[in-house]
Amino acid sequence: MTITTKRRRWGGYVIIIITTVVIRLLDQPHGDLPAIGKLLDPVNGCLANAERTTRDFGSAKKIAQLQGNASVMYDERLVPHIRAVSDHDLYFLQGYIHASFRLWQMDMQTRAAAGRVSEVVGEKTFEYDRKQRRKGMLYAAERSLAAAEADSRTKVMLDAYTEGVNAFIGTLSYGDYPLEYKLMSFAPEPWTNLKCVLMLKYMADDLSGKTDDIAHSYLRTVLPAEDFDLLYPDKISGSTPVIPRGTAYPTRTLPEIAAPADSIAFPSYRSSDFGERSESGKGSNNWALGPSKTASGAAILCNDPHLALNLPSVWFEVQLTGKDMNVYGASMPGAPGVVIGFNDSLTWGLTNNYRDVKDFYQIYGAEGDASSYMFGGERRKFDLRIEEIKIKGKPTFNDTMRYTLHGPVMYDEHYNEKGSLKNTLAVSWMGHRGSNELLAIYMLNRARGYTEFVDAILHFECPAQNIIYADRRGNIALWGQGQYVNKWKGQGKYVMNGSDSATLWRELIPMNENPHTLNPETGFLSSANQNVTDSSYGYWYNGDFTELRAWRINDVLGGMQHATVEDMFGLQNDNYSVLASKTLPLMLWYCKDVNSKYLDTLRQWDYRLTMNGTAATIYQLWWRNLYSDIWKDEFSAVPGYVIPLPERTMQLMLADSTLKYYDSKRTAKKEVLRDMVLRSLKETTDSLQQLEKSYGLAWYRSKNTSATHLTKIAAFSYDSLKTGGWGNTVNAMKGGHGPSWRMVVEMGKEIEAWGVYPGGQSGNPGSKYYADYLQNWVEGKYYKLVFLPGTQAADKRIKYTWAINK
Amino acid sequence: MKLIITIVSIAVLSGVVSLFAPWWSVALVSFVVSLLLVQRPGRSFVAGFAGAGLWWLVAALYRDIPNDHLLSGRMAQLFHLPNGGAFIAITVVVGGLIGGLGAWAGGQLKKP
């Protein structure tokens, strides 16, 4: 062998080594960076997710697991209309289809519910996961799973759905994985029934998992009782409750319990760190008009639940047609059935019912015995439960949780919101109880009239919902439905002393005693997260209610005659601000001597927060400054910044211009409302001038309504959507929250329905169906929904068909 | 002429092999082809780069064009590139580089 041969061999080996190293580097993820080589591979990498815009979704399929023949027809908007004979086949196909369009979303949302995100993301989500476990989310889901599997109907539903999801996962190889798996470098895992329940618990936590107990305890220490009641009334005056005044509420059968004299606990914390700032104006609208109010003489029902505006959307439209059911509506990827929609007899909608079903308890350890706590003068052992939190790239973290009679100990010396909370607090949450909301969905999807509707919703325990109803016979009804505890007055409004046995949640209120009404004389019903009843309802409760949207809706509907579906579209997209209409005249009156082009704009305004409106931006900014100026000096230390509601502030402003809270603590002068208004105007003018120099005063730019991908990746998200409205207008378009599904159903001889949601059926950012509804949603336009009668075979609106043989 | 034959061979074989082999198989194909069609190492690299890049370009466009550049546009935004075309270009360069390196190694071993 010559020297040159040797040298070139060596050269060759070196290059082979370099090549191998480069390949290895590109084949592995590095931190948040995905495996670039794998990702760029045009065969199985991200480009494999580039869906043909002309893709034919139809095919002949053979699915061995089915019990009979079935078909799936997709309409032009890619809504699947699933037909099968047995429940098993229907829910199997729903699972299979949910997974084929939304698998990664289903995976992530159930991980988020369970506190299992760190397994695939790593350390940075550890605190999030831990909080989920601490809240008892997994524990809650396990208990509800037991309840769901104990009922033969929901057992079939869950088993079949899970089987369907797993059948789809079984068809996948790396190239077929949803794009996000490739970007985040993990793989789908088998689906389970528990995950379906976790999806429902995720919603329960989102809708009923917030409570102001800790803030209220704090407020009791800093405010005289009468001030507390003035600023934070249980029932705001002038409320138009969900179940209207004058309704004969069901008679109370459980005895009234006397409130214990001293049951409040006052946890201590470094309040500046504690809790999340609550976002007001989160909620939903629904209403129904009876035949006397509509032009057609048929009942009309409308619903728009306000949820996080994420992509992929929280909803997926579907029609399920079986031997005893023909139902259409919004389903939740990750769970079987239709959550909001209509069948061939009736239609229903949901808004959140904010009655408080989550309470905190201060726990007192038994002296000299770390394994026990005090309750009713006796020692009791904690039940222990180990939460195993897996973390990518790190050792598993085992959190030993202690459970009390009240529920899990959420906060203690090991977990205390960054060290701010000094006490041991346990939490009682209705969601911890084993309830079977899936059965409510199962029965609701099949219900044929009011009685069956009621039978169905009585299984809907948590999250409590205002469930509205309309049917083809022209009946309308509304229930403030959920499972509640017979509480003594004030129970659970503050953190309670957990060692006092009188604070324990005792008897459950029989659910047929929940407030409800059928066919009221006014001819219409509505709910928008306001107070549920007036004070004549037999049981005491408190909650996180807001009134502004309800006032507007009831005002508009009360005056409406011969209503059409177009009127309904109009009301769902209504941007009229009740808050502005009541507060602005007063604010302007205090400024009548001030010269300002901004004030000139406001003086001619019609109180509508229109998309391009500059008055909207001026008012909103001014109001925000004024609202904050009034409360911030006294209340900035309240945990979670729980300050009096805007509507309460509005009432106080109109009633009393010299309230002591207008006086700023930082100045010697005694200030009144007028000073607050003028000062906030000055602050606002400065900000507006800045704003004009940057992107102008168009309202949509200022509030920035966005539909954001769950990963927050900007390339998969849409911001600065051209929408009007705000959380306190009927068109509740906030920054990241808004009408997640707008639905209008007219229950005539022929059922006609319209709907739209911010997103599209496909969860794949590489599909043209990813966000194809978004623009129409932004513009307040609707799609006519294709509701196929159970018997009909073909329809010209059907674009693709799966003929499925067993 | 030999260069062109090498490029085409690498491109075609890479395409066939990619149906069952992982993404880095372009390096292996380029390596083997340059052992068989011996050229100076520099020319081998060029052939590998062009051949593998060509295959990745064809495969990428096969996905990108019927997709109306939806995905490549989003990926470009994700990686702060001006447009989908730039994303495809990066793809081609990475494929080319891997192919080039493989071919270069082969060329070096069999240097004439």
| Residue A791 pLDDT > 80 | no
Nearest to B63 among A22, A42, A714 (CB): A42
Specify the pLDDT at position A498. 95
Specify the pLDDT at position A688. 96
Nearest to B105 among A16, A46, A54 (CB): A16
Average pLDDT value for residue range A46-66: 92
Interval A747-757: pLDDT, tens: 999 999 999 99
Strand partners, A372: A381
Helix, coil or strand: residue A754: strand
Nearest to B109 among A8, A53, A179 (CB): A8
| Residue A372 pLDDT > 90 | yes
Contact B98 A768 (CB under 8 A): no
Interval A445-475: pLDDT, tens: 999 999 999 999 999 999 999 999 999 999 9
Q: Which residues in chain B touch residue A37, judged by CB atoms under 8 angstroms apart?
A: 23-24, 94, 98
The span from the CA of B94 to the CA of A19, in Å, is: 12
pLDDT band of residue A56 (cuts 50, 70, 90) is very high
Specify the pLDDT at position A668. 83
The span from the CA of A545 to the CA of A650, in Å, is: 15
State the maximum Cα–Cα separation within chain A, in Å, rounded to a whole number.
106
Contact A343, A358 (CB under 8 A): no
Q: Which residues in chain B touch residue A36, judged by CB atoms under 8 angstroms apart?
A: 94
Q: How far is CA A493 from CA A227, A281, A451, A464, A767, in A?
A: 16, 21, 34, 17, 48
Interval B37-46: pLDDT, tens: 888 888 999 9
Helix, coil or strand: residue A430: helix
Interval A190-221: pLDDT, tens: 999 999 999 999 999 999 988 889 889 989 88
Q: Which residues in chain A touch residue B109, judged by CB atoms under 8 angstroms apart?
A: 8-9, 12
Average pLDDT value for residue range B41-63: 95
Q: Which residues in chain B touch residue A45, judged by CB atoms under 8 angstroms apart?
A: 23
Nearest to A50 among B22, B64, B78 (CB): B64
Average pLDDT value for residue range A19-43: 93
Q: How far is CA A759 from CA A217, A314, A360, A555, A644, in A?
A: 41, 9, 37, 31, 35
Helix, coil or strand: residue A762: coil
The span from the CA of A75 to the CA of A92, in Å, is: 20
Q: How many CB atoms lie within 10 A of CB A250?
A: 17
Specify the pLDDT at position A666. 78
Structure tokens at A111: 């991980």
The span from the CA of B24 to the CA of B95, in Å, is: 8
The span from the CA of A802 to the CA of A804, in Å, is: 6
The dihedral through the CA atoms of A771, A774, A776, A777 has a sign that is positive
Specify the pLDDT at position A463. 96
Contacts (Cβ under 8 Å, ≥6 apart) of A703: A620, A726, A733, A734, A735
Mean pLDDT is lowest, of A11-20, A428-437, A580-589, for A11-20
| Residue A578 pLDDT > 90 | yes
> ipTM value of the model?
0.97
| Residue A419 pLDDT > 70 | no
Contact B60 A52 (CB under 8 A): no
Specify the pLDDT at position A663. 87
The span from the CA of A663 to the CA of A677, in Å, is: 12
| Residue A412 pLDDT > 80 | yes
Contact A26 B24 (CB under 8 A): yes
Rounded to 5 degrees, φ, ψ at A714 are -65, -35
Average pLDDT value for residue range A720-732: 95
Interval B62-90: pLDDT, tens: 999 999 999 999 999 999 999 999 999 99
Specify the pLDDT at position A80. 97
Q: What single DSSP character describes residue A657?
A: T
Interval A504-524: pLDDT, tens: 999 999 999 999 999 999 999
Dihedral, A96, A100, A105, A110 alpha carbons, nearest 10: 20
Rounded to 5 degrees, φ, ψ at A550 are -60, -40
Residue ranges per structural domain of chain B: 2-109
Distance in Å, alpha carbon of B1 to nearest chain A alpha carbon: 24
Nearest to B71 among A22, A47, A714 (CB): A47
Specify the pLDDT at position A667. 80
| Residue A4 pLDDT > 80 | no
pLDDT band of residue A792 (cuts 50, 70, 90) is low
pLDDT band of residue A639 (cuts 50, 70, 90) is confident
Average pLDDT value for residue range A429-442: 97
Specify the pLDDT at position A59. 82
| Residue A275 pLDDT > 80 | no
Average pLDDT value for residue range A342-369: 96
H-helix or E-strand spanning residue B32: helix B25-36
Specify the pLDDT at position A199. 97
| Residue A495 pLDDT > 90 | yes
Mean pLDDT is lowest, of A406-420, A509-523, A711-725, for A406-420
| Residue A271 pLDDT > 60 | no
Interface of B with A (CB under 8 A): 18-19, 22-24, 27, 31, 41, 56, 59-60, 62-64, 66-68, 70-72, 74-78, 90-91, 94-95, 97-98, 101-102, 104-106, 108-109, 111
Give the rounded percent of residues in chain A with a pLDDT score beyond 70: 97
Average pLDDT taken over every residue of chain A: 94
